[in-house]
Amino acid sequence: MKKLILCLIFVSLAFADNEEMLEKAQILEEQGNYKEAMLIYKEIATQNTKDIPKQDLESQSNRQVFAKQYLTFEDKETSQSVGQLLSSEFGLYAYNTNYFAPISYQNTQANDRKKNEAKFQISVRKPISYNILGMDESIEFGYTQTSWWQIYEKSGPFRETNYSPEVFALFLNKDNNSPLKAYKMGFIHTSNGQRGEESRSWNRLYVQGTYRVGNLFVTPTLWYRIPERAKKDPNDTYGDDNPDITTYYGFGELEIKYPYKQHIFDLKLRNNFRENNKNYVDFTWTFPFYTKSKLSKYFGYINVSSGYGDNLIDYQRYINRVTLGVAFSR
């Protein structure tokens, strides 16, 4: 029902010049006369598609409208299923930054790679349930995949990929007088999908809060690594791949974001707070493309990082890196 309401709202916005016909179609649909309602939607589309640029027909919203108006079935649920297949809409949303960077240069020499490579990240979240605890919380599933791609090698191998599925509960604080705006807690697994001596993985429980301090958003995160049994042999399938990983990643992270107009400056800091000090600094600037081209909907992406934990396979190495690319979400 919720998807139906959203779709009707979208159709109303897209075809505002046909309000009377839309109202009639909506009434018919509410009465269960789905077939006649679809005929009206089709008539509206016929009047309006001549004004829609051809390239826009490939957009997500127009796929949904196309499915609703041109792929109709007498059975309402069948029609909705076909529309979902065409639009590939399953309630997924951007989570962490999604970007593609053709330039990601590290100054540390390594025999297994070129210093310059491509790097990209895919990150989505899927809401699972809402308010089951009575605290207006959202229970969600998140997935982030970060890849380092030796695109300038002849065979273009993927040097490293880190996979991070997680489940978390997000709580939004509606108290305007409190600097705490949101907090969440969850479980996250991170691994690189390798075997034997190149295998890296760890599981964590974490808590995170987001505070507003003036124009800054400050987000401290604390995590607890779930212990694993020691491996008797490096090639064992089960067991601790990296028993010293908290020595390099520590037990938390501090993130500071500063939004300014259409720019976002993001600083992340880690430190193990031990005598044998290991730290990591990561700074990202995303900015708009001032152009009338298709890139105007995306953002420039500049990242500079230094320290331990650049990625799982290299977590014990101190790496300085500069990354330039395009962000698709922030």
Q: What is the DSSP string of 40-86?
A: HHHHHHHHHGGGS-GGGGGSHHHHHHHHHHHS--SSHHHHHHHHHHH
Q: Enumerate residues 6+ apart whose C-beta is below 8 A from 321.
A: 104, 105, 106, 107, 303, 304, 305, 306, 310
Residues ≥6 apart with Cβ < 8 Å to 297: none
State the Cα–Cα distance between residues 156 and 247, nearest whole angstrom.
32
Q: How confident is the model at residue 55, as a pLDDT? A: 47
> Does the pLDDT at position 191 exceed 70?
yes
Q: Per-residue pLDDT averaged across 102-131, rounded?
A: 91
Domains in the chain, please, with CATH?
2-87 (no CATH), 93-329 (2.40.230.10)
Average pLDDT rounded to a whole number, residues 12-36:
58
Assess whether 329 carries a catalytic annotation. Answer: no
Express as a percent the part of the chain with pLDDT over 70.
75
The C-alpha atoms of residue 149 and residue 25 are separated, in whole angstroms, by 51
pLDDT of residue 323: 98
From the list 189, 201, 263, 306, the catalytic residue is: 189
**Mean pLDDT of all residues belonging to the chain:** 83
| pLDDT at residue 225, as a whole number | 97
Letter for the amino acid at 42?
Answer: K
Catalytic residue flag (residue 263): no
pLDDT tens track for 28-71: 666 666 567 666 655 655 554 444 444 444 455 666 666 666 66
Which has the minimum average pLDDT: 4-13, 142-151, 259-268? Answer: 4-13
Three-class SS state of 260: strand
Q: Is the pTM of this model over 0.85?
A: no
Q: What is the pLDDT of residue 61?
A: 61
Least confident of 66-80, 119-133, 148-162, 282-296: 66-80
CB 99, CB 147: distance < 8 Å: no
Given the residues 12, 138, 191, 329, the one annotated as active site: 191
